[in-house]
Homo-oligomer: A and B are copies of this chain.
Amino acid sequence: MPRVAGQIDLSKTEAILDAAVDVMAERGPQAPMEEIARRAGVSKQTIYNHYGSKAELARAMAERRAHQVVETLAAPGAVERPEEALAAYARVLLNSVVNVRSMAIYRMAMAATATMPEVARAIYEAGPRASRRSLADFLRVENAAGRLSCPDPLQAAEFFGGMVLGRYQTAALLGAQIELTDDEVEAVAQEAAARFMRAYAV
């Protein structure tokens, strides 16, 4: 008995996850299950049939998001100058992380750290950490090819991620400025890439 007739028929679990993210973006981590159900056009019981508890639901939300972001980052990546590749990475990172939905998930995960530490940790590994690791792989290759001088690629990747996200992630998590124009994204991406290249020039 779908409430919204003209909608694409997402599998129910997707709909629930989407609703959970949206509701938490609006009401914070303690958003009631009842409202998530309503938003998903589904009964509360159905959610409990799919995910046994709110904690399970939370974990599922976060994992899905992490995979989405990491996949996007691991996009084709045609052979280009390292500076281009870095700028591209930065662009994607900013666009996928600095927005209401990602923030909602981060906040939820962080609030949960005290009560369900394994979940929060898993999110860190599957999200930011995995994404930096894949950047580190790229840097390792560039280093071997002599296009960069980068003895500790993982650290360099973490530095780059920090430069790009640092300010915006903190601000967004604290509710100051969560919108970023394309121009801003572009400017930050290019500047960060350029500075990084100088810092790690051969």
Q: Using a CB–CB distance below 8 Å, which chain A residues touch chain B? A: 25-30, 106-107, 109-115, 117, 120-121, 123-125, 128-129, 132, 152, 155, 158-159, 161-167, 169-171, 173-176, 191-192, 195-196, 198-201
Contact = CB atoms under 8 A, between A and B. Distances in A.
- Please classify the interface of chain A as helix (H, G, I), strand (E, B), loop, or mixed, using the class held by over half of its residues: helix
Given A107-B110, A162-B163, A166-B159, A117 B175 contact: yes
Nearest to A187: B155
Contacts of A27: 114-115
Q: Which residue of A25, A29, A115 has the most chain B CB atoms within 10 A of its CB atom?
A: A29
A202 B146 CA distance: 24
Nearest to A123: B174
A196 to B, nearest CB: 7
A121 B174 contact: yes
A159 B192 contact: yes
A29 to B, nearest CB: 6
A105 B55 CA distance: 22
B107 A111 contact: yes
Contacts of A174: 109-110, 113, 120-121, 123-124
Given A28-B114, A110-B174, A121-B175, 9 more contacts: A106-B110, A107-B111, A110-B111, A117-B175, A124-B175, A159-B192, A162-B167, A163-B163, A166-B166
12 contacts: A28-B111, A106-B110, A107-B113, A110-B110, A110-B173, A120-B174, A129-B171, A159-B163, A159-B166, A162-B162, A162-B163, A196-B199
